[in-house]
Amino acid sequence: MEPVNERGECFVHQLAPLDHTSPRIHTAKLVYFCTNENPDKIFITLRDALAKSISAFPIIGGSVGLMKQAPRLGTLAVQAPFFTAEEVLTKKDLRETYDYEAIRKEDFPADAVDFKLVVPDLGANHSRVLLVQANFIHGGLVLTVAVHHNVVDEAGIFMIMKLLASYCRGDDGSLLIKPEWTDITPLLSGKGTGRLEDHPEYKLRSAEDSATRITTYQEYIAGKGTTASAILFFSDEALERLKKAAKRVEAVPWISTNDALCALVWSCATAARKLGEDVPYSMFNMVVDGRAKMDPPMTSEYIGNVVFVTTRSILSIPSLDAANIADTALNIRASVLAINDEVIKDKIAAVMGVDDIGRLAPGGYSSLGRHLACTSWAGQPYYTLDWGKELGGVKRLRFPKTLSDGIFVIFPRIPADNAGLGEGGIEVQIGLDKAVLERLRGDKALNQYVQWR
């Protein structure tokens, strides 16, 4: 039975204009658990928890599609068809293929499992809000959770994971849900000139190419076939040293640990690329959470997309090296500060000013062999979630594929005082051309701070 509201109407959740600027894909995570519980028992627990989560929060059981009687052409909504827990959750028995302890001893390599095996069929189910696959391995579980990017950003994914974990451990997850989770009102009021040309991160497709006419399932990332991924680990101690190296007495404004980390990775990756004199500059883009930057601030528990891409971090190739990490970190900090309430409201005005919102798309990313881009999960405390006696806590999170050239992901901070997780710190997965990645492994400046995993 499809969910209905208090008036008996079929449930429909309108997405905010900013949601339309995210890629129409699923954002997936691999979640590693260490457990020797019976797989059938674990699967039943997950299925029941998922059923309760869908009942309490019907959005995650729905589909993304064009909204009928929408306020603007191309408006998306979560609506029918809705799916049950049995339809959302799939499973695979890979106990003869993978061993948790062997993967743990190797520090959970990026390619520890075959992504084609452990990720649900996203392409065939591209309109569903949520897809979950339980992959049982010897001594553990790899849980793949994939949520539609038009419905959530990283903060939203965490809230859904938090809901599912609460039911897995036997708590009433409905107590977590608040009206603010889905209140798009703060994102419906734009202000400023609202000129789309002032926001190059958004691409306006032709009317013929509008998503209202053509069903697209595109990543908006141009990668290179020779790209390889690696995981770098920055311990808490190393992060402290790195932040001090990036902080000058006269440095105003304040420099964050994230600024320092990104400055080092950007500098060293650019040096490893050995760019010639014909390449004048390198650009760095970072995804920034805009919730706290709005006035008044939005709640951190809002699940929709409130993310923006920095556009000002550009440095000339000759000056971009680890010796100038403080200057590079300041450059990144300036680009983050440039995303403020005034700019966000102008972006909203620009997005809302488009006649057919289906024509909007992310501008795309191409490293051109010299640019870098970053997204971060560091602000979400995945490792503090209790998933109950059968699963325990998350042992590691991973990205379920090889990253495109120039893309890196900052994983959640590993708390130092959490038994069974190893040394406290932050992991980073980066995608680069294979030859560049090999040169990066030998970078002395980088290796002052990182352990390779």
Is 235 in the same domain as 360? Answer: yes
pLDDT in tens, 323-363: 788 889 999 999 999 999 999 999 999 999 999 998 988 87
Please state the rounded mean pLDDT for residues 235-253: 85
Please report, for the domain that includes residue 366, its CATH number. 3.30.559.10
Percent of the chain clearing pLDDT 90 (strictly above) = 74
Q: Above 60 in pLDDT, residue 223?
A: no
pLDDT at 175: 97
Please state the rounded mean pLDDT for residues 295-300: 95
pLDDT at 418: 74
Residues 45, 171 contacting (CB under 8 angstroms): no
Q: How many CB atoms lie within 10 A of CB 116?
A: 9
pLDDT in tens, 276-292: 778 888 999 999 999 99
- The partner residues of 397 in beta bridges, in order of sequence, read 31
Distance (Å) of CA 208 to CA 212, 215, 378: 9, 12, 39
pLDDT at 45: 98
Please state the rounded mean pLDDT for residues 165-180: 97
pLDDT at 216: 53
Q: Above 90 in pLDDT, residue 220?
A: no
pLDDT at 7: 40
pLDDT at 69: 87
pLDDT in tens, 302-327: 999 999 999 777 778 767 666 788 88
Is 227 in the same domain as 204? Answer: no
Least confident range of 47-56, 158-167, 394-403:
394-403
Quick one: pLDDT band at residue 425, thresholds 50, 70, 90? very high
Q: Which residues span the domain enclosing 440?
A: 223-378+402-452
The answer to whether residue 322 is domain-embedded is yes
Q: Above 80 in pLDDT, residue 8?
A: no
Q: How many CB atoms lie within 10 A of CB 112?
A: 20
The structural domain count of the chain equals 2
The answer to whether residue 89 is domain-embedded is yes
Is 27 in the same domain as 166? Answer: yes
pLDDT at 363: 79
Q: Give the domain-ending residue among 209, 238, 254.
A: 209
Q: Above 80 in pLDDT, residue 73?
A: yes
Percent of the chain clearing pLDDT 70 (strictly above) = 92
Residues 265, 372 contacting (CB under 8 angstroms): yes
pLDDT at 339: 95
Please state the rounded mean pLDDT for residues 49-62: 98
Least confident range of 374-383, 408-417, 418-427:
418-427
Is 92 in the same domain as 132? Answer: yes
Longest dimension (CA), the chain: 67
Q: Above 60 in pLDDT, residue 15?
A: yes
Please state the rounded mean pLDDT for residues 246-266: 85
Is 290 in the same domain as 424? Answer: yes
Is 66 in the same domain as 159? Answer: yes
Distance (Å) of CA 61 to CA 88, 126, 245: 8, 13, 47
Show the 3-state SS of the chain: CCCECCCCCECCEECCHHHHHCCCCEEEEEEEEECCCCHHHHHHHHHHHHHHHHHHCHHHHCEEEECCCCCCECCEEEECCCCCHHHHEEEEECCCCCEHHHHHHCCCCCCCCCHHHHCCCCHHHCCECEEEEEEEEECEEEEEEEEECCCCCHHHHHHHHHHHHHHHCCCCHHHHCCHHHCCCHHHCCCCCCCCHHHCCCEEECCHHHCCCCCCCCCCCEECCCCEEEEEEEEEHHHHHHHHHHHCCCCCCCCCCHHHHHHHHHHHHHHHHHCCCCCCCEEEEEEEEECHHHCCCCCCCCCCCCCEEECCCEEEEHHHCCHHHHHHHHHHHHHHHHCCCHHHHHHHHHHHHCCCEHHHEEECCEECCCCCEEEEECCCCCHHHCECCCCCCECCEEECCCCCCCCEEEECCCECCCCCCCCCCEEEEEEEEEHHHHHHHHCCHHHHCCEEEC
Tokens 């989770």 belong to: 181
Q: Above 90 in pLDDT, residue 250?
A: no
Contacts of 7 by beta carbon, 8 Å cutoff, 6+ apart: none
pLDDT at 106: 95
The answer to whether residue 2 is domain-embedded is no
Q: Give the domain-ending residue among 209, 244, 270.
A: 209
Is 334 in the same domain as 293? Answer: yes
Is 191 in the same domain as 44? Answer: yes
The answer to whether residue 395 is domain-embedded is no
Is 194 in the same domain as 247? Answer: no
Q: Give the domain-ending residue among 187, 209, 231.
A: 209
pLDDT at 324: 81
pLDDT at 2: 61
Q: Above 70 in pLDDT, residue 5?
A: no
The answer to whether residue 215 is domain-embedded is no
pLDDT in tens, 123-159: 889 999 999 999 999 999 999 999 999 999 999 999 9
Is 240 in the same domain as 164? Answer: no
Please state the rounded mean pLDDT for residues 11-32: 92
Q: How high is the mean pLDDT of the chain?
A: 91
